[in-house]
A and B are shown apart, each in its own frame.
Chain A
Amino acid sequence: MLTADERERYDRQIMLTEIGEEGQEKLKRASVFIAGAGGLGSPAAIYLTAAGIGRIRLVDHDRVDRSNLNRQVLHWDNDIGRSKVESATEKLKKLNPEVEIEAIEETITEANLSELLTGFDLIVDAMDNLTTRYLLNKAALDNNIPFFHGAIYGFEGRAMTIIPHKTACLRCVYRGVIPEEKFPVIGVTPAVIGCIQATEVIKYIVGIGELLTNKLLNYDALNMEFTEFNVKKDPHCEHCGHMKTTG
């Protein structure tokens, strides 16, 4: 049940026939794991917090650096040197005290990931490297947790939604590796992609709209073009090829 304060806070989105009070209650009951509190994690966490997700766990091992501030909008100048999850949690709790925000300052590894995910319904991939993205993809499949991928480079962004056992996974699309590197980026690019990830999460929880499944969305900010590449589940996929497809 929503409280009177919640009804007032979410009034404009409860007005949406696609959401209504029932949808808002679904958002309140949901728990979202956000991997990364940086360029993608900031907008994703802000909009999921504002929308009234019940419980959010933010995981990031990093500390705020001055060079993060052009894009990681949850961190401000006076946060330089602080833990990113601590800095982010402080802002998110002020934005919406109704949401339970949990900060975990840890590196995501194969060894700790299952435990970190325990009790969470959805995973937002807001990482900055492919190695951890693959770990998250595998864990999402193994634990049957929907996975919302996003990535950026410069003026370009990508997003894709993965429903285990039903749709193509990240490893069906990306088979290679790229070295970890310092990548160019302007803040507006992860802002768009992080918001798309948050939108997908909200749609999935409420059960509305069409998801970005079996599609890799490519956002070209320089030409303001959105392209959807069609992708298929790979029967030989290293991560999901052995899994039975349902639905």
Chain B
Amino acid sequence: MSITVNIHQALRHLINNQATAEVNGTTVGECLADLVKQFPGIETKLFDKKGKLLNYVDIYVNLESSYPEELTKLVNDGDKLSITLMIAGG
């Protein structure tokens, strides 16, 4: 299944300065694994050493928060994933 992933600005340098990437998978976790396979440099910006999504990374599927399922959330062909990072500046 083809899924488009919108990548947060701060991570785009890790995917050849692209704003989006095309991935395959049936869950959020599989899509992110495919993203990491294509762009290994992004792995440590998304996951901790145990493979858990970092707690300042938020994933949205078609603009809906994927929490609490997160990595197990199912996706469908044509869905759009957004990877965002928490920001706190003022």
Taking Cβ atoms with an 8 Å cutoff, the residues of A that contact B are 36, 38-41, 126-130, 133, 150-158, 173-178, 183, 185, 190, 218, 220, 222-223, 227-232, 234, 236
Partner of B87, one of A127, A156, A228, A236: A156
Known interface pairs A38-B90, A150-B90, A190-B90. Does A178 touch B56 (Cβ–Cβ under 8 Å)?
A: yes
A126 touches B90 (CB 8 A): yes
Contacts of B64 in A (CB 8 A): 229-230
Partner of A231, one of B54, B55, B65, B68: B65
B89 touches A220 (CB 8 A): no
Closest chain A residue to B53, Cβ basis = A176
B39 to chain A, nearest CB (A): 20
Complex-state Cα separation, A24 to B10, whole angstroms? 42
Complex-state Cα separation, A126 to B89, whole angstroms? 9
B63 touches A230 (CB 8 A): yes
Closest chain B residue to A38, Cβ basis = B90
Most buried by B among A133, A157, A218: A218
Besides A177-B55, A234-B68, 20 other CB < 8 A contacts? A38-B90, A126-B90, A128-B89, A128-B90, A130-B86, A130-B88, A152-B89, A153-B89, A154-B9, A156-B87, A174-B58, A174-B86, A176-B55, A177-B56, A183-B87, A218-B84, A227-B63, A227-B82, A229-B65, A230-B63
Complex-state Cα separation, A130 to B87, whole angstroms? 8
